[in-house]
Structure 1
Amino acid sequence: MVTTEAGTAERTATAGLSLRTALAGMPVITRDEPIAREAVAADFAERYAGVPAVGVARPEPAVLYTGVRSGAAGPPVLLGMYGDEDRLRGWLPGLPRHTTPQSAAALVAAGIAPVRVTTAPCQEVVFGEVDLRELPVLTTTPRDAGPYLTAALVHAGDALTGESALSAHRMLVIGRDRLTIWMVPGRRLGQLREQAVARGERLPVTVNLGVPPAAMIASALNSRFLPDGSDKPAVAGGLAGAPLTLVPALTQPGVAALAESEIVLEGYLDGTLADEALPGAAPEGSLPEFLGYDGRAKSGLPVLTVTAVTTRRHPLYQAVIGPGREQSHILGVAGALSVALSLPSAPGLHVHDLHFSPAGGGMLLLAVAVRKGSAAADRALPAIAEEVVRRHPFVKTVLFTDDDVRVRSAEELLWAMTTRANLGADCVELPGHPPVPMDPSQTPDWARARGGTPDVPPRTFIDATTPYRLRAHTERSFRSPSD
């Protein structure tokens, strides 16, 4: 590649606004021995990953692979950055200590609009020729369709409607300058692309790698639950306590890059489609999904064409391996905020905290700690559970506990289920919701193998709370330290 360098003013950023700043304030394991990029993910999974990637409950360290062999001398590969929730929370002073409807609403109200700049760290080096194959894009397992971008945020905006999108997607490199992109149906980016194509236009985008931690968490919020006048970049500013910086793309007018990113791909989405497979291959597997199982490739996906690559000097290439603590914390922290923003109120019931367990990949198992103020609260839980699974279709099980249970502790949740629930009576079915195909237990084949009908398995909620009139009988002998 031919490169040119663009001057940029020196800036300082908080940990929430710069991956590089966050990384500088934490221990990092450096692996400098030569390693093929096809072997990096397996090495990380074996040595460092936690549930649900492997059956070990452990936080994941940040690991920098500096000896990755690729087509050229590429940047180091960073894995595990978000593999510890306490570490993640330390970067984001605006993230509430307890996730409740009130604290989530306060975070959104405290949002800070991004600042637009004309020069930025992410454009210090500009590549005059695009060849995505020179980046250390990982192939996670030998069964993968090919090399995937896994920790990249796509930023787009519609100049006519004022709508914007900031979201992560799996993207398969299918050529020097082309990627397929899988968008869950109904996501904002897909809607913006469809609107542009209907007008006979292209949708300009930037693909941002090595992004600010605040942007990564904000990107996983569900846009449907943000009030009018708020967007994900503003929420990222609220999380970090200071605004994100955006810089205009060099080759795609009307769209901006996240200025503190390590690497940026500029490009566009149009009506072009391709199968999620390398040229000449049929679509089969994709890559490991967040629950720990191999994914299935899609046919006829939108193609993203890349028109420029810009980077910091000496950039880092960030990735996730799919399942594991890292992905679970990104999805779970943002998911809890999304649920909190969408929860209906219930008489006599106060939500104390919300948490998505890594055991469900940060999406399937939701723990809700509540405080009951009246007997009416006993009857409010079924309606809340029904509303949660209706509005958040990945949620499979809602576990209600009392507010003396720490919902971020797996042992505490098991203790509550063991001593404050009788699952034969307190595990309640919520039928009529579509399955999540990534979960093998939500398939007709699974139901048949269990001896049942091939009907869609129902969602459930578990009431592991104390009945209001019996509260005095279940006080803990020892109070937990303040959390």
Structure 2
Amino acid sequence: MTIYPHPAAETVTAGLSLRAALAGLPVIGRDEPIAREAVAADFAERYSGVPAVGLARPEPAVLYTGVLPDAAGPADATDPPAGPVPPVPSGRPVPPVLLGLYGDEDRVRGWLPGLPRHTTPRSAAALVAAGLPPVRTDTAPCQQVVAGEVDLRELPVLTATPRDAGPYLTAALVHAGDAATGGSALSAHRMLVIGRDRLTVWMVPGRRLGQLHQEAVARGERLPVTVNIGVPPAAMIASAINSRFLPTGSDKLTVAGGLAGAPVGLVPALTQPGATALAESEIVLEGFLDGTLADEALPGSPPDGSLPEFLGYDGRARSGLPVLTVTGVTTRRDPLYQAVIGPGREQSHILGAAGALSVALSLPSAPALHVHDLHFSPAGGGMLLLAVAVRKESAEGDRALAALAEEVVRRHPFVKTVLFTDDDVRIRSAEELLWALTTRANLGADCVELPGHPPVPMDPSQTAEWAGERGGPPEAPARTFVDATTPYRLRTRTERSFRSAQS
């Protein structure tokens, strides 16, 4: 590993600036020329971890500085109907591509002093209570350079595999505020570049951005937005928290302020009145969502694959997605372009840290159980496998696990398996979880089905076809929880021979 030279960080904390987070990190610099279609595969082969590849390893921050300009890009309605798209005319240098920044959990925690050491209902509530609302400024680093024209082909938007629908933005946060309702949204979405100034946006049903978009369209209005690339780490983690579980008066950017220990900065957009951008972003796309829809495919191609999903399998394209029209582009001087490859430690840590906070905020009171920690394993992409360390206050705690598991999977539909352990188990260690599973559970009796929950289609084992091959009924598969805890009355029989302070 080498310390790679990077633009100097401003005097802001690491939680509030990607550049400050990079400062002092052992960043691997890849200077050799490389096509943007090859960057993701190179990172996956050399550096990525589970579930992208079958290696359990943290991911380093890698900066690709030799990404070649794109000689041809996606066509749109203004292009000629046939023939290649002309090469990018500006001649501006291609921004370096940053991958792997969030690929180490301890690294992320070091940037965010407000992120609880143990994620519990109490610590999550304390984080929200300590939240700091964002502050507005008239000038910001993200507007140091204003593009003279919009041409998304000038950005090194990656194509991860030959089966992808095309180039996708993967680590960009869409920020929207609705002046009519006072609502706001901050969330990451996969966005396919389908033209010089157009993107399709896949919004998981129920997301706040989708609600704001539908409300604006129903009023016959456009929803002004910014797309922020290279955002503060606190904003990235907060963006993945489920806003349904935030109390009235709080929002994701306020939680981001609590994570960083200082408020996030916002700056008004230059081409979209009412929209604001994250001031410390590397690159900002300003634009709007209206009633325009398009298939998740390049012009002239049918919807097919999308890009690698968070569990490590190819995704499937969608039809009739909202189109985001870009009206302006601003950047820092010498900007960095940040991306994720889809599956891998980086995506798992972002989703897992925010997911644990979401679960903690949603848990009901359970007097017989004390939740000691919550952790989403990277093996489930940071979403499907939830480990819960508990301390039982009485024998009633043995029977309280089922109700707690049912409440978790009901409120968090991506959770497939809940694994309960005692509070002497380090649930952030895969070996510790396997030890508890091996010595404190008999799966024939201690693995319990929770039926009646819809499948997660990105998980192949939850499909009707999979169930049919297993000889089972084709209805939606059940969720499960595993009791790898010691029965309350036998707890003295499983005390560990060697005891140490738990992390």
Amino acid at match of 1:283: P
Question: How do 1:231-380 residues align onto structure 2 when only pairs under 5 Å count?
Answer: 231-380=251-400
Report if the CA contact (8 A) 1:347-1:376 is conserved: no
Match of 2:78 in 1: none
Amino acid at match of 1:174: I
Amino acid at match of 2:274: G
Aligned-pair CA distance for 1:482:
3.6
Aligned-pair CA distance for 1:451:
1.3
Question: How do 1:360-439 residues align onto structure 2 when only pairs under 5 Å count?
Answer: 360-439=380-459
1:348 and 1:196 map into 2 onto residues whose CA distance is 46
Aligned-pair CA distance for 1:481:
3.7
Tell me if 1:62 matches 2:61: yes
Match of 1:220 in 2: 240
More off after superposition, 11-20 vs 274-283: 11-20
Aligned-pair CA distance for 1:480:
2.9
Amino acid at match of 1:425: A
SS of corresponding position for 1:35: coil
Report if the CA contact (8 A) 1:170-1:182 is conserved: yes
1:298 and 1:159 map into 2 onto residues whose CA distance is 30
Match of 2:469 in 1: 449
Amino acid at match of 1:411: E
SS of corresponding position for 1:59: coil
More off after superposition, 374-383 vs 285-294: 374-383
In the alignment, structure 2 segments of 5+ residues that lack a partner are 1-8, 71-90
Match of 1:180 in 2: 200
The equivalent position to 1:199 in structure 2, one of 219, 234, 241, is 219
Amino acid at match of 1:50: G
Match of 1:5 in 2: none
SS of corresponding position for 1:174: strand
Amino acid at match of 1:408: R
1:231 and 1:20 map into 2 onto residues whose CA distance is 24
What is the RMSD of the two structures over their aligned residues, measured on CA atoms?
0.8
2:376 and 2:433 map into 1 onto residues whose CA distance is 12
Report if the CA contact (8 A) 1:431-1:459 is conserved: yes
Match of 1:7 in 2: none
Q: What's the % identity of the aligned pairs?
A: 85
Match of 1:16 in 2: 15
2:418 and 2:69 map into 1 onto residues whose CA distance is 44
Aligned-pair CA distance for 1:11:
5.3
Aligned-pair CA distance for 1:454:
1.2
2:331 and 2:416 map into 1 onto residues whose CA distance is 40
TM, length-normalised to structure 1: 0.97
2:113 and 2:36 map into 1 onto residues whose CA distance is 35
SS of corresponding position for 2:326: strand
Report if the CA contact (8 A) 2:426-2:502 is conserved: no
2:322 and 2:361 map into 1 onto residues whose CA distance is 31
1:353 and 1:187 map into 2 onto residues whose CA distance is 26
Tell me if 1:476 matches 2:496: yes
2:401 and 2:426 map into 1 onto residues whose CA distance is 19
Match of 1:26 in 2: 25
Aligned-pair CA distance for 1:347:
2.1
More off after superposition, 340-349 vs 75-84: 340-349
SS of corresponding position for 2:290: strand
2:59 and 2:501 map into 1 onto residues whose CA distance is 25
1:25 and 1:227 map into 2 onto residues whose CA distance is 37
Tell me if 1:90 matches 2:110: yes
Aligned-pair CA distance for 1:356:
0.1
Amino acid at match of 2:53: V
SS of corresponding position for 2:195: coil
Amino acid at match of 2:125: A
2:486 and 2:232 map into 1 onto residues whose CA distance is 42
Tell me if 1:102 matches 2:127: no
Report if the CA contact (8 A) 1:17-1:240 is conserved: yes
The equivalent position to 1:80 in structure 2, one of 69, 92, 100, is 100
2:295 and 2:11 map into 1 onto residues whose CA distance is 42
SS of corresponding position for 1:214: helix
Corresponding pairs, count: 474
Tell me if 1:156 matches 2:150: no
Match of 1:211 in 2: 231
SS of corresponding position for 1:200: coil
Match of 1:47 in 2: 46
SS of corresponding position for 1:280: coil
Distance 1:26 1:11, change over 3 A: closer
1:417 and 1:143 map into 2 onto residues whose CA distance is 38
2:393 and 2:410 map into 1 onto residues whose CA distance is 26
Aligned-pair CA distance for 1:313:
0.1
Question: How do 1:123-142 residues align onto structure 2 when only pairs under 5 Å count?
Answer: 123-142=143-162
Match of 1:6 in 2: none
Per-residue CA deviation, residues 2-58 of structure 1 (Å, 9 max, x unaligned), is: xxxxxxxx9521000000010012110000000000000000000000000000000
2:411 and 2:475 map into 1 onto residues whose CA distance is 21
Amino acid at match of 1:350: H
Amino acid at match of 1:342: S
Match of 2:77 in 1: none
1:455 and 1:111 map into 2 onto residues whose CA distance is 43
1:148 and 1:460 map into 2 onto residues whose CA distance is 34
Runs of 4+ in 1 over 3 A off after TM superposition: none
1:288 and 1:60 map into 2 onto residues whose CA distance is 17
2:169 and 2:180 map into 1 onto residues whose CA distance is 29
SS of corresponding position for 2:40: helix
SS of corresponding position for 1:411: helix
2:441 and 2:309 map into 1 onto residues whose CA distance is 32
